[in-house]
Amino acid sequence: MSAADRDHMKVFAGRAGIELARTMCDDLDVELGKARTELFPDGELFVKVEEDVRGRDCFVVQSTSDPVNANLMELLIYIDCLRRASAKRITAVMPYFGYARQDRKDEGRVPITAKLVANLITAAGASRVLCMDLHAPQIQGFFDIPVDHLTAAPVLLKYLDEHRAEFGQLVVVSPDVGNVKVANTYADRLGADLAIIDKRRQSGFAVASRNVVGDVEGRTVLMVDDMISTAGTICEAARVVMEHGATDVICAATHAVLVGPALERLAEAPISRIIVTDTIPNHRRFDAIKDKLVHLSVSHLLGKAVHRIHHDLSISAMFREVVGTKR
């Protein structure tokens, strides 16, 4: 990147994006923007940008993961701060988009919080949004500003390709019907068969999965999803495929949300390898599953996207031969 580009582009980071942003800046050959976030005694957040951003192309890296509300508020304040400092363009880089699962009214008198968050980000002054593996891709339509939607598939597939010989006879299993398109593309790329779990959700915390559509007997099972939250779906699916004769289970997901009983469930589940990315920070808390955990970075992918946005180049060109997102 030229000296002029380095001067015109500014990359900042909230507290939930600082580690990822530092690695992105190394790839981009730019310095991380000088700014600080402070917490007042009453709990209010204060963001101060400590360098000139007038007329600059600014990017703010922040995952709105746990603590979701504090991280979201910090992102909004960052955007407002940059807007009032006369930044030319502000891109909210959200590796993980919180509230994505509240994307529709599935019963009476409930909010569509994903739309509310989109409105807040737009109202704060963001010019565009860069996010990764949205739980519901239609959320892109909730924004009245451009949204670039990345997938971590290139990162996951690179690892899976490198270790393909270890898996033997492989079958890609979709843990639910909604993920079949992604699972099918992974199966094509890895030269594997496809199977589907018949999942019946009992509640927000409990999932009952009983049937397997396809043959898993004597095979290594790979399950791919956009996130692992409470791990109920993935662990129950792992038990089901083992009951149907699978020899090993590997799971891969972009977002390691891992809340509630997730770590305990994964530690006890018949899963030998859990592949996740660093879209959500604080992976040091994963000690309970460290022997199973493979932690990959999406920093190069995000850095490449930021570079292309800065130079007004196509983002979709990065993914022409890669897995599609969940539909």
Quote the tokens at residue 34: 């000088």
d(CA 295, CA 315): 25
Quote the tokens at residue 87: 């930044």
The continuous run of DSSP H or E covering 253 comes out as: strand 248-256
Coil, strand or helix at 60: strand
Non-local CB neighbours of 242 within 8 Å, separated by 6+ positions: 249, 270
* Burial annotation 159-185 (CB, 10 A radius, 16+ → b, else e): ebeeeeeebeebbbbbbbeebeebbbb
Task: Measure the CA angle with vertex 279, ends 155 and 191; round to 5°.
Answer: 25
**Look-up of token digits 């109920």:** 232
Q: At what angle do helices 153-162 and 180-190 cross, to 10 degrees?
A: 40
Is 304 catalytic? The answer is: no
**Look-up of token digits 């007004």:** 312
Q: Report the side by side order of strands in the sheet with 89-94.
A: 9-13, 57-61, 89-94, 128-132, 147-150
Quote the DSSP letter at residue 55. T
Single out the catalytic residue among 199, 292, 304, 326: 199
d(CA 133, CA 249): 23
Q: Please identify every residue annotated as catalytic.
A: 199
